[in-house]
Structure 1
């Protein structure tokens, strides 16, 4: 009898584990609810917002954040890329393919839960990075869920990157290319980098507060592992992560029913080390339910002890306005190098998911939070650029002499 009970318990455990690994089939009521939410967002918010932006651009002077060039490739006619040249680049030069004109290149992928968002969301960040570090920055687009569920967006990114790397009109150095992404874009950056066509062509990846683990789909579990700081007050002092209200919509839209959630293209935290870029710089936010999975993946790739889910990220007390901790406290920053591989970890203290986004102010409506975010955004841009130029994308001695 005891053996029968044990066998039944084992079967129940196995069934529970299988269910945890497979995306569910959503009840009809929730499918209708999320379909309606997605329709209303696109019809009542996104389309009017895009029209308003286009009208302002047509009637007024262009913003300094605007890209220098917007183009499409025949392979993905519906998707645009936004191109930012550094001020030092001579856009009228006829010798764009000479060695001296080639630029280190950062490809960026916007976030939005695989469902929302547009490449122009990061125009300010992309323009600042290009100007500050002398990079060619190219913002990529992808088909949004639910029209384009997993793995549609990954192959959109793959196709666009392949076109960019082969485009003779762009002054990029194909040996000095990095890929960055925010939130869902961070997931897509690490997913696309694993594909055979791109493997080894991306020298470094910079996932910023990325979605990495779809297996741990109980969002309240993730939310318990982030830090809460009521002493900060305002938007950051809340006792509930604002992402929780949207995670159901995002999962419904992106995950096909029955999809294995431990697929490395869906959950990059399970990717074999040899399939990922040799150099990865993880940037996470202390007050973000996605911080813990970035911490775990960074530790795994670096060969460090992987934290348990009951270990909360960061520290209890507020760190201070505009302060980044870049050394001396491994909860917030460290770097591990081995041969030609480097893994770097940065936890941005007192910061929420999306702190560096152009449009976060309309959600937060908190001047104190936004001033802190503005300072930390500038500092993270400096850290990322310095890390790339002094490490994975460092110019060789011959190019330095030519410059």
Structure 2
């Protein structure tokens, strides 16, 4: 594996097969499929008890934290009984007040194979209370049992169920609805919003480090993120930690023969008019998905789109601990109005994929996570302020 500086510089050496929009998914050799299937099976066996133990231990040893993150209600709909959703109300909200709240629908990550809505409980609970939103954590079926485009249509179905739910209508202002997602969930946010039934009801999107372009090879993506050895610890590594997982995730989600430039799979290729008119894309500077997020933000904002070989952000460490760059450097932040829409980009500096979630076990770097938690808290405020402003203007 090349060193960090050379790795980024090598982005100029793009091979022809690394970005071919006519490319389709190639079949995985039998022994590789067997390996992936075994891993996926073990994950399905091991993860539920681990999640139960984690939730139980939090409730036992930190009951105040567990209570603050607990959803108002967990429910399922008859058409999607296996996909329970989690609904959060602001802690100060009086259910008898008659006040209707703006709605944020969120979609968890996990590479289309892992994860559940529970993963986002701390973020959803904090967002609901800080910004006075009703937050609904959506769910979707996972690969390899349910492959693309099943998850996209699961989200569509649940959006319809939630926004028509008689038990929730007294609390919801359905003229003010946004949708957000992380990683795979960010991609699903952009994919599901292309469907007529969703686009008609969801008015703003916040994809956070989304999967947006499957055409780029993983090697090309990894070369165009930033590597900063001067940061030390986990962030000094010369290899993106997702690289060991993406082959499994790709196999689990996309079948052989699938066109990779299908906009439902790769939202980067969707025409702007097929999405809601307000999109705020968030990327992480030290994330192999940052380049595609950046290019999509530029494309939506009608800016020149960077080459697929261009590295995102900058090589220098330009922000202090917990700091974001909100003005003065459009590599990190911009917002443009195009037609009647608003398109915003925010690149979180010196952070890795999943920085706003509990990735301590994978990262094993207290300094990295301390920096990440401050930035994650700031991001909740920035996203909430932007969504509130956008949705309030739409509803008037």
Equivalent in 75, 88, 92 of residue 88 of structure 1:
92
Q: Which moved more, 1:386-395 or 1:158-167?
A: 386-395
- Contact 1:126/1:137 (8 A) holds in 2: yes
Q: Give 1:317's aligned residue.
A: 316
Specify the alignment match of 1:224 in structure 2: 223
C-alpha separation between the residues in 2 aligned to 1:114 and 1:362?
20
Residue in structure 2 matched with residue 365 of structure 1 by the alignment: 364
Q: Which deviations, in whole Å up to 9, do the C-alpha atoms of 1:4-28 show, x marking residues without a partner?
A: xxxxxxxxx99x958x521111110
Check conservation: 1:279, 1:392, Cα contact below 8 A: no
Matched, 1:48 2:33: no
Alignment check: 8 A CA contact 1:388 1:394 kept: no
Unaligned runs of 5+ in 2: 1-15
CA contact (8 A) 2:20 2:215 kept: no
SS at match of 1:63: helix
Task: Using the TM superposition, give the Cα deviation of residue 310 of structure 1 relative to its aligned residue in structure 2, in angstroms.
Answer: 2.4
Q: CA RMSD in A?
A: 1.8
The alpha carbon displacement at 1:262 in A equals 0.8
Change (3 A) 1:32 1:388: same
Query: 2:382: which partner in 1?
Result: 383
* Kept in 1: contact 2:176–2:395 (CA 8 A): no
CA distance in 2, matches of 1:158, 1:142: 10
Which residues in structure 2 correspond to 1:25-104 (within 5 Å)? 25-44=27-46, 46-53=47-54, 55-56=56-57, 61=63, 62-91=66-95, 93=96, 96=98, 101-104=99-102
Residue aligned with 1:142, SS: coil
User: Corresponding residue for 2:166?
Assistant: 168
Residue 395 of structure 1, CA deviation: 7.4
Question: Mean alpha-carbon deviation: is it higher for 34-43 or for 54-63?
Answer: 54-63
Aligned length: 374
Bigger relative contact order (CA 8 A; separation at least 6): 2
1:148 equivalenced with 2:146 (yes/no): yes
CA distance in 2, matches of 1:58, 1:127: 16
Q: How does 1:187-202 map to 2 (within 5 A)?
A: 187-202=187-202
**CA shift at 1:56, angstroms?**
4.3
- Give me the whole-angstrom Cα distance separating, in 1, the residues matched to 2:379 and 2:225: 20
Distance of aligned partners of 1:50 and 1:153 in 2 relative to their CA distance in 1, 3 Å threshold:
same
Separation in 2, partners of 1:17, 1:214: 10
Q: TM-score, normalised by structure 2?
A: 0.91
- Alpha-carbon distance, 1:393 to partner: 3.6
Q: Distance in 2 between matches of 1:120 and 1:238?
A: 30
Distance 1:54 1:236, change over 3 A: closer
Q: Which structure's CA Rg is the greater one? A: 1
Please show how residues 2-401 of structure 1 align to structure 2 within 5 Å. Answer: 17=20, 21-44=23-46, 46-53=47-54, 55-56=56-57, 61=63, 62-91=66-95, 93=96, 96=98, 101-170=99-168, 171-216=171-216, 218-318=217-317, 319-357=319-357, 359-394=358-393
TM-score computed with the length of structure 1 as normaliser: 0.89
Gaps of 5+ in 1: 1-12, 398-403
Q: Which residue number in structure 1 is paired with residue 10 of structure 2?
A: none
